[in-house]
Amino acid sequence: MLLGALNLNGLPPQGGKEDARPGPEVPYVVARLLNSHPTRVAVISTVAMFNGYTAYPIAYFSQEEPLNFNAFNASWGRETYDVPGGWTDKVDDVFDYDLLPWVERGKIKWIEPGDETHTLSQSQRFPYANLPGRRKSMIIWDNKVLP
pTM, 2 dp: 0.84
**33 three-class SS:** helix
Percent with pLDDT over 70 in the chain: 81
DSSP-assigned states of every residue in 63-113: SS--TTGGGG--BTT-SEEEETTTEEEE--PPEE---HHHHHTT-EEEB-T
19-43 pLDDT per residue, tens: 888 999 999 999 988 988 889 999 9
Cα–Cα dist 138/116, whole Å: 28
Query: Tens of pLDDT along 37-87?
Result: 889 999 999 999 999 999 999 999 988 766 555 444 455 655 555 544 444
Structure confidence by residue, pLDDT tens digits, 125-144: 999 999 999 999 999 999 99
